[in-house]
A = this chain, B = another copy of it.
Amino acid sequence: MVHDIRIVTEAELRRAVTMDLDTVEVVERAFAALATGGVSMPPTLSMPFAGGEGAVDVETALIDGLQSYAVKILSGLRDTPDLRRPGRDGLVVQFSAETGAVEAVFLDNGYLTDLRTAAAGAVAARYLAPEDVTTAGVIGAGPQASLQIKAARLVRSFERVLVYGRNPHNAAACAADLAASLDVEVEVTTDPEVLVKRSQLVVTATSEQAPVLKAAWLHKELHVTAVGTDQLNRNEIEAAGLVRADLYVCDRVDQCATAGELRAAREAGLFTDEAPPELGDIVTGRRPGRRSPAEITICDLAGTGAQDTAIAAHAADLISETGTVIRA
């Protein structure tokens, strides 16, 4: 049936939807819905490109109570040597949950994915990081690394940020961006071990397939969020580290077992008989989060379609009359 469809560009979305506490709340509610059974979410559709150079991933979910649902498509090269070039493209399509009609197409080039992923990092930090974080560290220096620190700052008032990136140019650019955006002191370090040891909150946001964070570096009063960057075979934390932690949490166990740290851990024979708690369990109080300042906690974020549906509905609320309406 012919109806109006709103087409919204990345630039329009960036003006309307930002990394703020509202965005964090929206994603936190999506995790709560996942825990309380209010979400229908199929496994991610993933099709690798020839030669393993990239892939297309499709995620979707229905969330009870939301008037819309989203189908998110990310497409492109996974691992670009030059991190300034976004290694992906994509869009988010929003449908009416009542009629199934297409309502909006967000030509976001992955922006909404960046936001919902960083917002999940903030939810993890809110429930799992020590209350007192004076130093936050980030391993990885791409756009997601920077956004994770900005999101974490919404829930923890650290005064210093340490940045480690394999490429010194990218690390410097990431540090400059953070120094300009946040009222914090920013240091670039060439030693990830030092970064971890000095921090109370660490985010890994790399496309590494071999651990960048060793189990031996973990220390009391530390929370680590592993977020990766669209790398199916990513492995950022040494599997032994997940066991050494007092608490290891997945955003969604089946997603992490496919595309998160849990995959490598299970290949190493760990967590084969037990399912770690999910972030939604912590958010809703079904399972305990951090129990003392001294604990080591780790959160594994592989990404969920529920976040995509939630951020798209949030974007639709905020864009209002923005964009181009096409009758089709």
Residues of A within 8 A of B (CB): 1-2, 5, 7, 9-11, 40-43, 45-50, 54, 56, 58, 60-62, 64, 69, 71, 73, 75-77, 85-86, 88-91, 93, 95, 97, 99-102, 105, 107-109, 324, 326-328
Point out the residues of chain B lying under 8 angstroms from A93, CB to CB: 73, 91, 93
Task: Find out whether the CB atom of B86 lies under 8 angstroms from the CB atom of A102.
Answer: no
Q: Which residues of B contact A50 (CB under 8 A)?
A: 40, 62, 64
Taken together as a complex, chains A and B put the C-alpha atoms of A73 and B86 apart, in Å, by 25
Q: Copy number in this complex?
A: 2
Question: In whole angstroms, what is the CA distance A205 to B280 when docked?
Answer: 43
Q: A56 contacts B100, CB within 8 Å?
A: yes
**CB-nearest residue of chain B to A61:** B47
CA distance A118 to B279 in the complex (A): 46
Contact across chains for A76 and B101 when beta carbons are under 8 A apart: yes
Q: Which chain B residues border A89 with CB–CB below 8 Å? A: 1, 95, 99-102
Which B residue's beta carbon lies closest to that of A54?
B100
With A76-B100, A107-B102 as given contacts, are A58 and B56 in contact (CB-CB < 8 Å)? Answer: no
Closest B residue to A107 by beta carbon equals B328
